[in-house]
Amino acid sequence: MSSEMNNLYEFGDFRFNTGTNTLWRGEELIALSPKALELLKLLVERGGEIVSKREIFDSIWADTFVEEGVLTQNIYTLRHALGTDENGKQFIENIARRGYRFVAPLKTLQAAEAVSKNGKQSKAVFFDGAANLPAESAENNLNSSSATHPSNNLQFLAASQIPSAPEKKIRPRSVSRLALLAGFGVLILSALGFGIYQFAVRRDEKSEARISPIEQLRVQRLTDSGDVVYPTVSPNGELLAFVRLGEQEASVWVKQIATGGDMQILPPSRRGYRSLAFSPDGSHLFFSEAADAAAIFQTSVLGGTPKKVAENVWSDFSVSPDGKQFAFIRRDTERNAHLLILSNIDGSGERELSARQSPLDYRGGAPAWSPDGSKLIVASLSGQVYPLLLTVEVSDGKESELKTPQWRAVTRILWTTDGKHLIVAARAANEPSSQLWMIDYPDGEVRRLTNDLESYFWISLSADGRMVVTRQQSIVSHLWLLPEGDIKTAKQLTFGERSFDGYSGLARTPDGKIVFAALTGNNNDLYLMNADGGNRIQLTANAGQANTYPAVSRDGRFVVFNSNRTGTTQIWRMDLDGRNQKQLTFGTEEKERAQFPAISPDDAEVFFIKLGVGPPAIWKVPVEGGDAMQVSRLTNATTEGLLSISPDGRWIAFRHVSVQPETISEERTMQIGVLPTDGNAELKLFDLPLRRSLVQWSADSAAFDYSAGTFNSSALMRQPLAGGEPQKLLDFPDRVFNFAWSSDNKNLVVSRGKQRGDAILITNLF
C-alpha cells in the first residue's frame, strides 16, 4: 500500500489525517494549533514507541529556541482535546525522564473505509492523497490550487464521486472529463470544508478559552530553586524581586535579569514577607510581613532598614502609576462587608472608595490601576457562582461590569501600559489549574497566555508592558499510610507526577478503608480504596465539577461531601459504594453555599458551614434530608474553613474569624474555636500555627490534632481541650495537606507532598 494511502488513522472516536494534519471526532472538526497537530502526527506515526523529548524538539521546534514548558503545554492541549478512552485512560502516556508515547490502538484506514464507516454515501469525507482515484485525476487534484492553497489544509471528496469496485477501461476523453468533474467537485467541497474550518476556528476564537499559538510567546525561567513566591519585575525590566522560602524562614532577594546576579536585601525571618511592589521609579520596594500584616513597609532595592509607610491595610496592595497612592481591599466583618480603600503613600488621607455588602465582595488580590490612574479593576463575587471583573472610577467609586468568561477563581489582575488589555491569573470553570489570560479592554475578548498543567497565581509587568513575570507553581500530593502513627514505617499508597490525592479531602471508614478526593483530568472526584492502597474505585463522576471534603458515617453506610454539580456548592450524601447520591442542602437563594460537612457521632445529623446570606455560620441538617437549622450564633465573629465533631458528640471545632485583626506574633496563627454541638455553652478559643485550617479529634475527645509548619516542612501537633502547650506527635520533611486517623486512632493516613514555585518571564506578547 502506498504512503498516500497510509496517513488516515482511527483511534477511539477519532480520525486523524496525518497528510493534512486534521483531526475529527465523528463529524466534528477538532481545532488545534499547528504545532499541537504536528506533535500529534509525530506520536501517532510512532504509535507505541517512546519518543524522547529531544526527538520531539528536533522535529517540531527545529532551529527554534523554546522552553520545555512549551512541550508540556502542547501535550496538555492534546490530552484535553482527546480526553480519555472508554477505560478512562489517556491516549498519550508520559514516560518519566524518557519522553512520550501514543498508547491507544491505531487502525490505518483507506478513504473508502472511512466513507463506509459514515454509512451515508452523500457525506463529505477525508480524501487521503491520491487513494482510490484514477492516476490522471489524482495528479490533477494534487496540483490544483484548491489542494495547495495556504489557508486550506482540508481535502474532501464526495463519497458519490469515489469509483465503484468494478473497473472499466476509460478513454482519454472520458478521463479528462472525469478529471474536470472531480476537480470541480474538489473545489466545491474544499470551499465547503474551508468554510466549516473557518467556522470552527472562529467559533473557537470567540469562545471563552481561545488559545493563542503558544509558539508566538517567548518563555524564560528566571529562577530554578523551587522556593520562590511573589516574583516582581522592576518598571525598567532590569531587576527581579522575590521572596525565597526556606525550611523555617523567608527572605527577600533582588536579581539582575540580564546577568543573573542576585543579592539578599531583607534577612531571613520566621514571620515571612509578601505582596512585593516596586515604586514607579524603581528605587524602592514596598512589601508586607506576616508579623505586622496591617502595615506596608518600604526599603531600598539595595537593602537597608525598612520603614513603615502605611498602617491598617490588612490585604494585598497596589501602587498608583504616579507613586502617590495605595489601593487595597479591607474586610470589615463588623459591617459584614468588603471595602475598596485608597490612601496616600504615607498612609494618610485614607478614603473608602466603594463597599460591597455580603454576599457581594471583592476578591482576586489587590485592585489594579489603569495606566492613567483614573480607574481600578477588581474581581468580585456578585451573587453568582463565578467571579466577574469590575472597573471602579477613582473619582466617584462608580462600578461597571466587564464581560468575562466563567472563571472559577481570579487571583491577580494587571492592566497593560496601553490601557487596551488586562492580564489575569484565573482558573477556568472546567479546568484544574489557574492559568494566565489576556482580555481586550473594554470589549472583553479573551485569549490564553498559558495552557499547561502548572498553576499561575501572581503576575507582574514592566512599565512598557513587554515583560510579564509570573510564578509557576506545582503541587504534588500523595497518600501515605503510617502504621501505629510511626513515620519510620510509612508506606506510600498513591503515585503520579501530577497527583493531588487527598489535597481536597480525606476520611477513614470504620473498617479502615480510605475515602479521598483526587484530581483526574479536569475533574475533582471522590475515590475509595483499601488501607494498603488496593482495590481503588471511583465514587463520583461529574464532568468538570468538584466533589470534595468527604466525611464518613460511624456505621460506614454513608459518605457526605461537597459538590458544585448544580451550580453552587452544596452538601450531598451517597452510599459508601457511590450509589444513591442525594442532595441534602439547597439554599433559599442561588448565592447560598454549604461547605465542609461533618457527621454527628450518632449518624443522625450533618453539620456544615453556610455562606452567602449573612455572616458564615454553622448549620445542621438531618442525614436523611429535611429542613436545616442554625447552630452557631457568634457575636463579632464568623466561622470559616473547617468543621470537626468530637467522638463523644459534645464539641465542634471550626476556624474562628474575629472582627478584630489577628494578634501579631512571631509566628502567624489561626484561631480555632470550639463550641458545644448544641451551641449553648461558652466558646473556647485557641491561637495555633496551623498549616491549613484542619483539625481532627483524639479518640477520647480530650484533645484535637492539627498540622503546623512555617514553609516547607510540617509537624503534627496535639492540643489539649483544657488548654496548655501542644504536644508534637510527628515531624515531616514536606508539607502535610490533610490527615485522617483510623477509628481506633492507631493508623494514620496523610496527604503530603511538595509545593514548588519559580519565576517565569513571558515576552513577545504583541
Alpha carbons 297 and 288: distance in angstroms, whole number: 6
Tell me which DSSP letter residue 179 carries: H
Alpha carbons 651 and 722: distance in angstroms, whole number: 13
Examine the domain organization and report whether 195 and 224 are in the same domain.
Answer: no
Asked whether residue 714 is domain-assigned, the answer is yes
Examine the domain organization and report whether 533 and 593 are in the same domain.
Answer: yes
Examine the domain organization and report whether 266 and 139 are in the same domain.
Answer: no
Contacts (Cβ under 8 Å, ≥6 apart) of 169: none
Last residue of a domain, one of 443, 466, 489: 466
Examine the domain organization and report whether 459 and 482 are in the same domain.
Answer: no
Give pLDDT, residue 184: 41
Alpha carbons 77 and 430: distance in angstroms, whole number: 14
Alpha carbons 73 and 52: distance in angstroms, whole number: 16
The angle, 0 to 180 degrees and rounded to 10, between the axes of the packed helices 53-60 and 34-45 is 130
Contact 228, 238 (CB under 8 A): no
Examine the domain organization and report whether 289 and 145 are in the same domain.
Answer: no
Residue 93: which CATH number? 1.10.10.10
Sheet containing 523-529: which strands, arranged edge to edge? 506-508, 514-520, 523-529, 537-538
Beta-bridge mates of residue 250: 245, 269
Alpha carbons 710 and 731: distance in angstroms, whole number: 12
Contact 185, 146 (CB under 8 A): no
Give pLDDT, residue 205: 40
Last residue of a domain, one of 160, 175, 206: 206
Examine the domain organization and report whether 449 and 573 are in the same domain.
Answer: no
Give pLDDT, residue 668: 61
Asked whether residue 542 is domain-assigned, the answer is yes
Contacts (Cβ under 8 Å, ≥6 apart) of 724: none
Examine the domain organization and report whether 102 and 8 are in the same domain.
Answer: yes
Examine the domain organization and report whether 481 and 429 are in the same domain.
Answer: no
Coil, helix or strand at residue 135: helix
Examine the domain organization and report whether 395 and 511 are in the same domain.
Answer: no
**Three-state DSSP string of 538-582:** ECCCCCCCEEEEEEECCCCCEEEEEECCCCCCEEEEEECCCCCCE
Tell me which DSSP letter residue 90 carries: B
Grid coordinates standing for 480?
A: 501515605
10-residue mean pLDDT series, the chain (766 residues): 58 85 80 81 89 87 66 79 80 84 82 42 31 29 31 29 34 40 40 37 39 66 90 95 86 91 88 89 90 83 89 83 92 80 89 84 84 93 72 93 83 91 86 86 87 86 92 90 92 85 94 92 86 93 82 96 88 95 84 90 94 84 93 82 91 82 53 84 85 88 89 88 93 92 91 90 85
Asked whether residue 712 is domain-assigned, the answer is yes
Examine the domain organization and report whether 434 and 493 are in the same domain.
Answer: no
* Residue 334 CB-density burial (10 A; 0-12 exposed, 13-18 middle, 19+ buried): exposed
Host domain of residue 612: 475-758
Examine the domain organization and report whether 452 and 574 are in the same domain.
Answer: no
Contact 387, 362 (CB under 8 A): no
Give pLDDT, residue 69: 64
Asked whether residue 685 is domain-assigned, the answer is yes
Asked whether residue 764 is domain-assigned, the answer is no
Cell 449573612 appears where? Answer: 614
Burial 438-449, CB ≥16 within 10 A → b, else e = bbebeeeebebb
Asked whether residue 633 is domain-assigned, the answer is yes
Rg (C-alpha) for the chain, rounded Å, is: 29
Asked whether residue 766 is domain-assigned, the answer is no
Give pLDDT, residue 177: 42
Contact 457, 412 (CB under 8 A): yes
Alpha carbons 346 and 558: distance in angstroms, whole number: 57
Give pLDDT, residue 637: 78
Alpha carbons 624 and 580: distance in angstroms, whole number: 12
Helix H or strand E segment including 2: none
Alpha carbons 640 and 605: distance in angstroms, whole number: 19
Contact 500, 521 (CB under 8 A): no
Q: How many domains does the chain have?
A: 3
Give pLDDT, residue 208: 40
Coil, helix or strand at residue 573: strand
Alpha carbons 322 and 549: distance in angstroms, whole number: 46
Residue 345: which CATH number? 2.120.10.30
Contact 757, 229 (CB under 8 A): yes
φ/ψ of residue 386, rounded to 5: -100, 140
Give pLDDT, residue 383: 52
Alpha carbons 696 and 652: distance in angstroms, whole number: 10
Examine the domain organization and report whether 449 and 493 are in the same domain.
Answer: no
Alpha carbons 437 and 211: distance in angstroms, whole number: 9
Helix H or strand E segment including 112: helix 111-118
Last residue of a domain, one of 206, 231, 261: 206
Give pLDDT, residue 679: 66
Tell me which DSSP letter residue 602 carries: T
Asked whether residue 86 is domain-assigned, the answer is yes
Alpha carbons 693 and 549: distance in angstroms, whole number: 13
